[in-house]
Amino acid sequence: MTISSSLNAGVAGLNVNATKLATISDNIANSGTFGYKRAEAEFSSLVVSSQGGSYTAGGVRVASRRDVEANGALVTTENPLDIAVAGRGMLPVTTVAAVNAQQGELPLLLTSTGSFRPDDEGVLKTSSGLVLLGWPADADGNIPPQPRNGSAGLEPVNVFSSQFATSPTTKIWMGANLPATATQAGASGDTLDIPIEYFDNVGASQTLLASFTPTVPASGASNTWTLSFDDSATPAALNPVAEFTIVFDDTRGSGGSILSVTPVSGGTFDATTGELSFNVDGGPMTVEIGVPGTSTLLTQLSAEFAPTSVVKNGNEVGTLSGVEIDENGFLNAIYDSGFTKTIYQIPLADVPNLNGLKPESAQAFSVTANSGSLYLWDAGDGPTGSFQGYALEESTTDIANELTHLIQTQRAYSSNAKVIQTVDEMLQETTNIKR
């Protein structure tokens, strides 16, 4: 029995070392594969119960696994859609075949990195057929609440769905100096205009005309102006769309700053923010002129009329010129008009036991009972790290270690073969007893 058990142990030794050689070969072959997680073969002994002073060889068995928890080094690239993760977490992806099938909820796979490119329909995918998944943003670039425990809510990321975009102007910062002499007795009372370009809801250029008309007193100085706004998109009969009375301070220490603002028609004034609010043809508009008591935007000094700065938000219609991902996983479309808009959020997927994930083709993994339940995090929340654009994760293979293991495996295999040879010779001697 002990001789035959030795033979079986030797055969088992050959088998497990062949398995270990396969993992080493795979690791070396994929040493240049981005996102590859090295495979390991772990040996464990088998014990067969023995009686008395005898001993029966139990042999050895092997279990292979992937070290998914290990992170490879990040290398920079020139593609903004080369995406890696700095820290814990994986990208949610699916297969091209699943997307093309369009049958309900997409099967969810995970990968630690990917070099994504848009196909002819704008869907981001890798050359190996993995499609990036994300939560789509609404028209304002906000991400609605989404389920976190599966692929429901996730969609294939399509960058061509936002080929053109515009952002309407909703706020203007208006800075100007009005001549103090214009509100003194004997002044001409001429209106001073500041035409302001803004963009409406369809990206068309419109003009908001801010007109300052001084109140000229019979004597002294009134320090008072009437500010009216005419909107080019609003019918003439409905202009001005708003009117305000502005009084400036002329006391020592506060001279030239706004003292008070009184709405006359069509608008309101918030003294805590210094904002005028009214409606133009396309919707609400806010014009910030400064908080009373400060001299940040609108002032009345000296004898010069000088528009100092007019700044607005919003943009005209722009054509998509690029897409980038930020560290929080927001995929931003960049337009040639200078406008940037969030079109998707990519979550980071995590499971309690990363090494329990099942390896799939193309450096992807699927959730199993051993890995635990999946959860989709916002990058940086919980245990997760951050996204890195222009970067890929290198293979976790260490060539020096693999070559060392290769030598050890070769010697172990040869030694097990020697055991089989020795057992064969001993059995031959036993056979020769009969002769």
Domains assigned to the chain? 2-67+396-432 (no CATH), 74-166+318-393 (no CATH), 171-313 (2.60.98)
Does residue 67 contact residue 396 with C-beta atoms inside 8 Å? yes
What are the Cα distances from residue 190, in Å, to 176, 178, 215?
Answer: 16, 12, 10
The Cα–Cα gap between 298 and 274 comes to 10
- pTM, two decimal places: 0.77
- In a 13 Å sphere around the CA of 193, the CA atoms on its Cβ side amount to 8
The Cα–Cα gap between 200 and 235 comes to 15
CB atoms within 10 A of CB 434: 5
- What does each of the 435 residues of the chain score in pLDDT, given as a tens digit? 567 777 778 788 888 888 899 999 999 999 999 999 999 988 887 787 766 667 777 678 888 889 999 999 999 999 999 999 999 999 999 999 999 887 778 899 999 999 999 999 999 999 999 999 999 999 888 999 999 998 889 999 999 988 888 889 999 999 999 999 999 999 999 999 999 999 999 889 999 999 999 999 999 999 999 999 999 999 999 999 999 999 999 998 888 999 999 999 999 999 999 999 999 998 999 999 999 998 789 999 988 999 999 999 988 888 899 999 999 999 999 998 888 899 999 999 999 999 999 999 999 999 999 999 999 999 999 999 999 999 999 999 999 999 999 999 999 889 888 888 888 788 887 788 866
